Structures are given as C-alpha cells and as structure tokens.
Amino acid sequence: MPGHLIRRLHQISTHVFMTRTREAGFDLTPVQYAALDAIRQSPGIDQAGLADAVAKDRATIGAVADRLVHKGLVSRKVNARDKRARKLALTEEGEALVATLTPLVEALQKEILTGLDEAEYRMFVELAAKAARATGSVAGD
C-alpha cells in the first residue's frame, strides 16, 4: 500500500538524516533543518508562513521556533504591522549552520533511496513532487 511505503520511507529518511547529522556533530531534526532553510529563503517570514512553508501546523512550528531561538539559531521579533505575529530571521550562527549543513543534507538524499539508479531516483522525485503538488502541499515549478 502506498501509505505504508510512504510512512516507511519517512522513517528511513528521518533515520538517515539524524544519523548523518549526528555523525557530523550536529543536533538538529529534519523539521528544524527545514525551518532554518525556509527562514533562510524568506528572512522575516512569520510563524504562520513558516508553518505553510514546511507543511506543519502552527503549534508544532511555534515549538520548533522556540527550540531554534533557544539554540541561538533564529531571532524572533514582533511584527510592527501585526503585534500578534513574530518575524523570524536566522542569526549569524544559524546562517553558518545552514551553510555548513546544506551540502551534507544534499549528499544524504540519495542514501534515503538506496537501490534506485539515477533515472529511477529522478523519476521517484518527479512522481513524489507531482503527487504532493496535486494535494497543494508543494508549490508548482
């Protein structure tokens, strides 16, 4: 069943990410990395926008943002236009971490789909992106 296979691949993806990043001396979850990368791409994004960008609910993203602020990787400031919203930006330490970690994260992607040749890997990514776009979970190209 596709749902079971997707869940299993998610488990494999998380395991590979956690193993490789810990081996490299980093203490970061895949969701934390995704949040840092989204903030890097959209400095000043608010928590609601970040939740949309990483496909997580607002409560989860609030907790993720709290951890990243606590780790000194993200700064959070009140939005001058909407006092309820918090604008997020990477700190210098956060910028450095993302710059260091991104090549490692890019390199481990193929390890997640061990057993696929290059053409199969590209096809899997295309089909997964197509399925996600159909649900509105991934922006179109």
pLDDT tens digit string along 71-90? 999 998 876 677 677 789 99
Give percent above pLDDT 70 in the chain. 94
**Which region, left, alpha or beta, applies to residue 25 given φ > 0 means left and ψ of -120 to 50 means alpha?**
left
State yes or no: pLDDT of 141 exceeds 50: no
| Out of 30-34, 45-49, 76-80, 90-94, least confident range | 76-80
| 43, amino acid identity | P
pTM value is 0.86
What was the pLDDT predicted at 138?
58
Q: Could you report the per-residue pLDDT of 94-125, keeping only the tens digit for each?
A: 999 999 999 999 999 989 999 899 999 999 99
Alpha-carbon Rg for the chain in angstroms: 16
Q: Are 42 and 49 in contact (CB under 8 A)?
A: yes
Task: Measure the CA–CA gap between 115 and 128, rounded to whole angstroms.
Answer: 17
Q: 75 φ, ψ to 5°? A: -105, 150
Say if residues 101 and 94 touch (Cβ distance below 8 Å).
Answer: no
